[in-house]
A and B are shown apart, each in its own frame.
Chain A
Amino acid sequence: MLDHILSLLIFFPALAAVFGFMIQKESMRAYGISVAAIEFALSLWLWYVFDGNVSGMQFMESLPLVPSFGINYILGVDGISLFIVILAAFFTMIGIASLTDTPNVKYMIITLLFLQMTMVGVFVALDAIVFYIFWELSLVPMLYIIGAWGGPLRIYASVKFFLYTFTGSLVMLVGMLFMAYFYYQATGVWSFAILDWYRLILPESFQLWLFAAFFIGFAIKVPMFPFHTWLPYAHGQAPTIGSVILAAILLKMGTYAFIRFSLPMFPDASAFFMVPIAIIAIIMIVYTAMVAYAQKDIKQVVAYSSISHMGVIILGTFALNVEGISGSIFLMIAHGVVSGALFLLVGVIYDRRHTKMMSEFGGLAQVMPRYATIFGLMLMASVGMPLTINFVGEFLSLLGFYQQSHILTLLAGTAIIVGAIYMLAAYKKMFFGEVTKEENKNLKDVNKREWVALLPLGVITIWLGIYPKPVLEPINNSVKSIVQLMHNKATTELGKERIPNLVKPKVVIIEKTIIEEVH
């Protein structure tokens, strides 16, 4: 069974979704939660059997799909994708558990399970076309979630979401076809296998164009400035569960793809574009933080802060060294947990009052103390307080980029302070002061169902904030091999300079000095 654990992880929820059509409406939630729990248990089992000391791919599966055109069904998981898969399984479970009785809850759960299939598929696919299939297919259930259960502008928001990402990924597809063609030219065989592509050393001029083609696809998904405009709409209109999944998992597809495709395949181009992308990332951090400050709707504050943190992830990724990339992967997970939790928390208050306007609230800390506590915790994590999960990722990302540019890192660092300002301002508006509105006086505090969803997130936030090692170490191992690969493949001066060579770590030099002392 271990041989096919990844296929099982992908297709188990899909199969369950198909069977879901036969389940009675009343028992659908129980069914959904149990399926998601099994899937989560499977993903934990994957972590258990995963060998953290191995840097390469594990549990690989391969099956010919269109062999004459080099398309194969290849799956595999390494330290980079492992935790995102677990995160996807975890958030689907939490999401389904937190579902309130929306109309057509049955179809919602079926759609979520299909979405889960595509999410897991994206993160374990090792063939570009299989990756692309899951990548595109994930748009369809998300389109339906926003379009069928969203707010008043839902159709506009869902279509905008779909078209933006669809357009970007088609350009990416052309880039993939080029990669396969270059591989064909070099070897005489067609191949879309990512590990095959890693072996290609392309001249810098090719790299720049291909990097750009892939970049458009990924940047829209992340979403990077200035392609971010679909996201506030999507978040604003999506139901709580849609926002949670979008922020926690779907956005990570873009940042994950940068690490899986752009960095190892185009090391020179990555080094070449490092500074421009870092500047975009800093604009993302500063600009969206400022926009977030101006929002009146708490969900929009969370949405914009989400973009802002994605900027830090991008910054860490393009540090091109082990600290930065490991930090950005860790921050992906942290951001998933924290922003997912924040969207859930917004959902809690929206369920009670059917408004997300901050002006409608005030003094909530007196009425809902437990809600205020957990909100406060998540907010602190979001701001990047030490001992919370976000801190580890942000620190490492910035530390990584500090080795490339002090000034840019400083700018990014100050921007995080801006982040603290708007978050605390929002918290103050909603939770402190007197209870001004009559309707707020009798609000119920967090109930049992919501605790089930929120408590694990709180625990993870603190646990991984204090002790990140079990997650960080497997990530580190895989990132090291990627950075080494990048260094070996880099052909330009700039690339060699910016991407560190890990084969000669400083430790070796110290050993030599010791030996000399002995003599």
Chain B
Amino acid sequence: MLAPINISMESLNVMTLAPMLIPVVGALLILVIDVIKGGLHKSLYVVLSLLFLAMDFFSLLDASEIFTQNGTVLGMFDVMLIDGLALLAQFIIVIASMLFIPLALTNKRFHEFSYPEFFALFLFMIAGFQFMVATDNLILIFVGLETASLALYTLIAMHNRDKSFEAAVKYFTMGALAAGFFSFGAMVFYALTGSVEINKIALVLAANGYADIGYVLVGVSFMLAAFAFKLSLIPFHTWAPDVYEGSSAPMAGYMSIVPKIAAFVVAMRFFEFLVHSGIVWLDIVLYAFVIITMTVANMWALVQTDVKRMLAYSSISHAGFVMAAILIGTTQANSALFLYWVLFTFTNLGSFSMLWISRQKSLPDHQMSDHSYDKFAGMIKTAPVPAMIMGLFMLSLAGIPPFALFWGKIYLISSAVTSGYTILALIMALNSAIAGYYYLKLIVYMFMKEPVVGASGQIYVANATLALKTIIGIAAVGTIFAFVAINPLLEFITAFVYNSGY
């Protein structure tokens, strides 16, 4: 006869679930409201989502306070793991989402934002990402990942253009493949170590001295492939430009930030012990991933004729750049990853939002695609302020000081320098120089070419509402005055990363 299981509620530490449950509750509330009274204006749902995200944010503040006092908190049968990485990633996720959601308030009626389901799915997705980063249990990571991904596929498809369905289907099939890889990799590690928790896997593997190195490598290969899909590392990136193109501009910006930080955190947890285990093969493969992703994506970005596709490739390149932090694996590198991503969030969301407010419902004759370079020609003459803001985001993406991303770049390159990756540091620097060219190309179009006949400044701000302008203003201020915030941010991030043992 089985003994009854006694578990005290206190040992469950239910509060660890609070930040994830808040958006879930919010999503359910939105669905209920829609059932009770349909046809409400989207602004209600936008504000509701914002409110729940704000509550989420405050619960994270609480959790981080507990973390700074008591250290890492475990909960729910030790499945939940609230450490510095989890908190930092959740902060980025929630803040990026808060910046994203008001972009639904455009002047034009865009299809997806008229559904309340959009906002419910959005909140579910955030909860999924939050689960994904706040655990080191491979099963919960998988559940979180799939919750978020399935919601995301639907959000893309809701954009309701020909290319969106293509994008959603492409993303879905690729994502399913990645999920398969992930579960297979997890299975291999379970078979090897009898555990699905990353820290236990690490312990067991270290204890037996990586005896089954062949199986470990098989497992690592599958995991690596799964992460490479999510992080759009070359050669697993093929979905990314098409999916970015098919989804709405802010959604594309959002996709280049939030899903990736979640995947980066999991990758950091997973590869941390492997990188330090001295498996030479893994170092070489990661090194190759990093360099190829940075360089090749840059090359492709050079030849794009559409700004949005250019930004898509540039996001891939940035992901490769940041992946270097995981290869290096020191505290400084891991902190640099978060610093970079915070700064990248402001800049990239800002630049995609600029595309969003210049989105038209139908294309004029002279324009090849939604955001072709030609459209931006001579923008300084027809719409000087938006042109300067867009130029600012481009300069920041290119890493021109003192704008935001420069600080992320030097800290990351510095972490490569301090841990002896000199060649990598040089390659990173040279890649920044290549990237300079395509960001410059947009600046050249905006500032130095003559406007295309018939274009009035109005098209660049056609969608702008006060909410949109505010978001872009926040992004621009964040980009210009980043240097004020770097020191507190760096100290905060380093303390959190260091105290989590990374």
- A interface vs B, CB < 8 Å? 64-69, 129, 132-133, 136-137, 139-140, 143-144, 147-148, 154-155, 158-159, 162-163, 166-167, 170-171, 173-174, 177-178, 180-181, 184
Contacts and interface: CB of A to CB of B under 8 A. Distances in A.
Contact of B413 (A148, A155, A173): A173
B436 interface: yes
Given A133-B401, A167-B433, 7 more contacts: A68-B491, A133-B406, A158-B444, A159-B437, A163-B433, A171-B429, A173-B413
Contacts of B448: 144, 147-148, 154-155, 158
Contact of B417 (A65, A163, A181): A181
A162 B395 CA distance: 12
21 contacts: A65-B487, A66-B487, A66-B490, A68-B487, A69-B411, A69-B414, A136-B400, A137-B400, A154-B448, A155-B444, A158-B448, A159-B440, A163-B440, A167-B436, A171-B429, A173-B413, A173-B429, A174-B417, A174-B426, A177-B414, A181-B418
Interface in B407-450: 407, 410-411, 413-414, 417-418, 422, 425-426, 429-430, 432-433, 436-437, 440, 443-444, 447-449
A491 B236 CA distance: 51
Shortest Cβ-Cβ A-B pairs, 8 listed: A133-B401, A167-B433, A170-B429, A147-B448, A177-B414, A177-B417, A66-B487, A133-B402
Nearest to B395: A140
A429 B15 CA distance: 87
Contact of B410 (A129, A155, A159, A167): A129
Contacts of B410: 129, 173, 177
B401 A136 contact: yes
A137 B401 contact: yes
B130 interface: no
A49 B403 CA distance: 34
A163 B411 CA distance: 22
Nearest to A209: B422
Contacts of A170: 429-430, 432-433
Contacts of B239: none
B425 A162 contact: no
A175 to B, nearest CB: 10
A11 B345 CA distance: 29
A155 B445 CA distance: 10
Contact of A167 (B414, B430, B447, B490): B430
Contacts of A171: 426, 429-430
Nearest to A107: B380
B486 interface: yes
Interface string B92-133: 000000000000000000000000000000000000000000
B154 to A, nearest CB: 42
A148 B401 CA distance: 22
Contacts of B351: none
Contact of A181 (B395, B414, B432): B414
A369 to B, nearest CB: 40
A66 B426 contact: no
Contact of A166 (B418, B422, B433, B486): B433
Contacts of B494: 68
B436 A166 contact: yes
B184 to A, nearest CB: 40
B483 interface: yes
Nearest to B441: A159
A133 B400 CA distance: 8
Contact of A162 (B401, B411, B440): B440
Given A69-B411, A159-B437, A174 B402 contact: no
Nearest to B445: A155
A129 B409 CA distance: 12
Interface in B465-500: 483, 486-487, 490-491, 494
Contacts of A137: 400-402
B490 A68 contact: yes
Contacts of B487: 64-69
Contacts of A174: 413, 417, 422, 425-426, 429
Contacts of B414: 69, 177, 180-181
Contacts of B483: 65-66
A373 B494 CA distance: 66
A185 to B, nearest CB: 9
Contacts of A162: 436, 440
B493 to A, nearest CB: 10
A209 to B, nearest CB: 9
Contacts of A143: 440, 443
B444 A159 contact: yes
A349 B401 CA distance: 38
A53 B411 CA distance: 40
Chain A CB within 10 Å, residue with most, of B413, B425, B444: B444
| Residue with the highest number of chain B CB atoms closer than 10 Å, among A166, A171, A180 | A166
Nearest to B494: A68
A148 B447 contact: yes
Contacts of B443: 143
Nearest to A144: B447
Nearest to A162: B440
Contacts of A147: 444, 447-448
Contact of A177 (B401, B425, B437, B440): B425
Given A68-B487, A163-B436, A132 B401 contact: yes
Nearest to B483: A65
A402 B135 CA distance: 70
A137 B395 CA distance: 10
Contacts of A167: 430, 433, 436
A293 to B, nearest CB: 33
